Amino acid sequence: METSQLDFLGELRRTHTCGQLRASDAGQRALLMGWVHRRRDLGGVIFIHLRDREGVTQIVFHEDAAEEVHKKAEMLGSEYVVAVEGTVAKRTAETVNPNLPTGEVELVAETLWLLNESRTPPFPMEENVDVKEDARLKYRYVDLRRPHMQRNIMLRSGIFGNRNAVHDALHARGRSRLSGAKPRAARLVLRSAPVAAAFQAASHGERLREIFSDCALLPR
């Protein structure tokens, strides 16, 4: 797959998340950002599933309507980071995807920004794919992108939004000190803490690799 020059994000801002659009949004313009989850090339039409932490939306690129955008979409691969702007359209009855909350609509692409390329991931991002534990640990920064791991991170963020709250819950001997929190709060923190720690470690590792060009000097 040939490479392409990356686009700058600049002042670009999304209008919706990838789990937000519904049939009632048909006809509206939208700008989505996320990872390329899946891609199907049918010749004159390319479909991708665009994923962020909120969900997945189908994007369609029509060669006869936007030739340059379609040509750019031909270069997309799994886990590429993109932004797409276009018009929300209802799917036909036979193409509705009942497995997706956004399955009644698709975004007809008019503009495509390629924000980052990606190597082929070490394992698929789908939840129903069984991945060996050693692979998940080795590529923890990839594992944290998987939907169920994203939900764990959001669960932790939603219940305990700051370090002081987490500290209080962990030292409350089973009693939550957070106003309005349920008695299970401390247990939920303990369940989600390894995810947060792994996310921090992965982030620090990526930062170190940006600073030091000789990655052979860094621990694996």
Q: In degrees, to the nearest 5, what angle opens at C-alpha 51 toward C-alphas 48 and 1?
A: 45
* CATH number for region 23-116: 2.40.50.140
- Span 61-84, pLDDT tens digits: 999 999 999 999 999 998 899 999
Determine the pLDDT at residue 139.
77
> Strand pairing partners for 61?
46
- Span 126-179, pLDDT tens digits: 666 677 888 777 877 777 777 777 777 777 676 665 555 555 555 655 554 544
Residues of the chain above pLDDT 70, percent = 65
Tokens representing residue 151 in the block? 């939900």
Answer yes or no: is pLDDT of 191 > 60: no
More confident residue, 105 or 118: 105
- pLDDT band (50, 70, 90) for residue 216: very low
Asked if residues 89 and 105 have their Cβ atoms less than 8 Å apart, the reply is yes
Determine the pLDDT at residue 127.
66
> Domain locations in the chain?
23-116, 133-217
3-class secondary-structure state, position 154: helix
- Span 24-65, pLDDT tens digits: 999 999 999 999 999 999 989 999 999 998 999 999 999 999
What gap in Å lies between CA 1 and CA 143, rounded to an integer?
24
Helix axes 185-211, 163-170, angle to 10 degrees: 130
Determine the pLDDT at residue 91.
97
Find, among 82, 165, 65, 64, the residue nearest to 73 by Cα: 82
- Span 11-21, pLDDT tens digits: 999 999 999 99
Determine the pLDDT at residue 138.
82
